[in-house]
Structure 1
Amino acid sequence: MTVDPAITNASASSDFDGDVGLLIDLLKLGTFIGTPMREGVADPLGLTTTDLRIVLALGGEGELAGHDLSEIMGVPPMNVSRAIAALTERGLVEPGANRTNRRRKPVRLTSAGEELFAQTMPAMERVGADLFKGVPQRDRDAFRRVAASVLARIGRWGG
């Protein structure tokens, strides 16, 4: 998918002031980041974008239940269930260690899943190097601080 440069190059903040412009830019970023992640990371590794997100979540967070993954990823539970089933069939995901709670069914990466997770890092480094090319390190660091702050507030969002 090729994204229209007029959409991605124009900052919404020129049309909207303050927080509204920032939110619109974040929405655009959230929408359009999927293409380089799919084409640069997921596709070469034989994963769907949902598969990739699950592998990244389990690789980074450890054992998680399907509903936790759904919440973290903002993906409908049915899509997460299907992806977990497909990843399990491929030998990349297995039931978690804590099987005492019948309602909460955590999953974790198998050793093959952990190897695949490790393979995502060089691919993500390539995508990141391309997307952040020319962005000074101080701006990258500031972006990470702001993103961390916004993510923390989203976690406390109450409506």
Structure 2
Amino acid sequence: MTVEAQALELEKFLPYRLSVLSQLVSESLHDLYAGPFELSVTQWRVMAALGRFAPLTASEVGQRIVMDKVAVSRAVAGLMQRGMVERATDREDRRRAPLRLTPKGRTVHAQIVPLALGYEADLYRALSAAERETLNSLCDRLFAHAKLLRNGA
């Protein structure tokens, strides 16, 4: 069968399936924290990255959460305005402006983490322990390979 004659079965197309699954999971998790904490998906991802890896520059946050600079900048600006993120000046490199959670941001982060981990546990209930281990291994391989493909390898 030639490439032109092949049909794209969207419902079986891996990139589509991963995208739809990601969106469904992201929206479901967002439903848990959006109302009580008034955070967007991007704002929560910024907070999660800073909660785990701070201090980070906005550019480093974008790399960690795989989001474009504009979305990250908007999220950071909103979080700074609400007093949840602060920006410092690096004494060794004044052009570098590392970000970190403020005490208020750490408090909100600490309240959302159990919700996120609870949702993850609920999601994982669909899989056995062995299937979870296999899924995590396969995801690691797909992430690594997708990065290679993205970089032209």
TM-score class normalised by the smaller sequence: 0.7 to 0.9
Deviates more, 1:116-125 or 1:74-83: 74-83
Give the match for residue 50 of structure 1.
42
> What is the SS of the residue equivalent to 2:86?
strand
Work out whether 1:61 is the aligned partner of 2:34: no
- CA distance in 2 between partners of 1:36 and 1:136 (Å): 22
Question: Among residues 126, 137, 146, which one is paired with 1:145 in the alignment?
Answer: 137
**Which residue matches 2:71?**
79
Q: Deviations over 1:57-91 (max 9, x none)?
A: 11122211112222333333222222212211222
Matches of residues 114-153 of structure 1 in structure 2 within 5 Å? 114-153=106-145
C-alpha spacing 1:155/1:103, structure 2 compared with 1 (3 Å)? farther
1:35 has 2:27 as partner:
yes
After TM superposition, give the deviation of residue 26 of structure 1 in Å.
Answer: 1.6
CA distance in 2, matches of 1:53, 1:67: 14
Secondary structure at the counterpart of residue 134 of structure 1: coil
Letter in 1 for 2:121: A
Letter paired with 2:151: G
Q: Which consecutive residues of structure 1, in runs of 5 or more, have no partner in the other structure?
A: 1-10, 14-20
Cα distance, 1:123 vs. partner?
0.6
Q: Distance in 2 between matches of 1:37 and 1:43?
A: 11
Query: Displacement of 1:97 after TM fit?
Result: 6.0
Cross-structure match for 1:158: 151
SS at the partner of 1:33? Answer: helix
Question: Rg larger in 1 or in 2?
Answer: 2
Q: CA–CA distance in 1 between the matches of 2:32 and 2:64? A: 22
Aligned to 2:98: 106
> What TM-score do you get using the length of structure 2 for normalisation?
0.77
CA shift, 1:98, in A, is 2.4
Structure 2, unaligned stretches of length 5 or more? 1-9
Moved over 4 A (4+): none
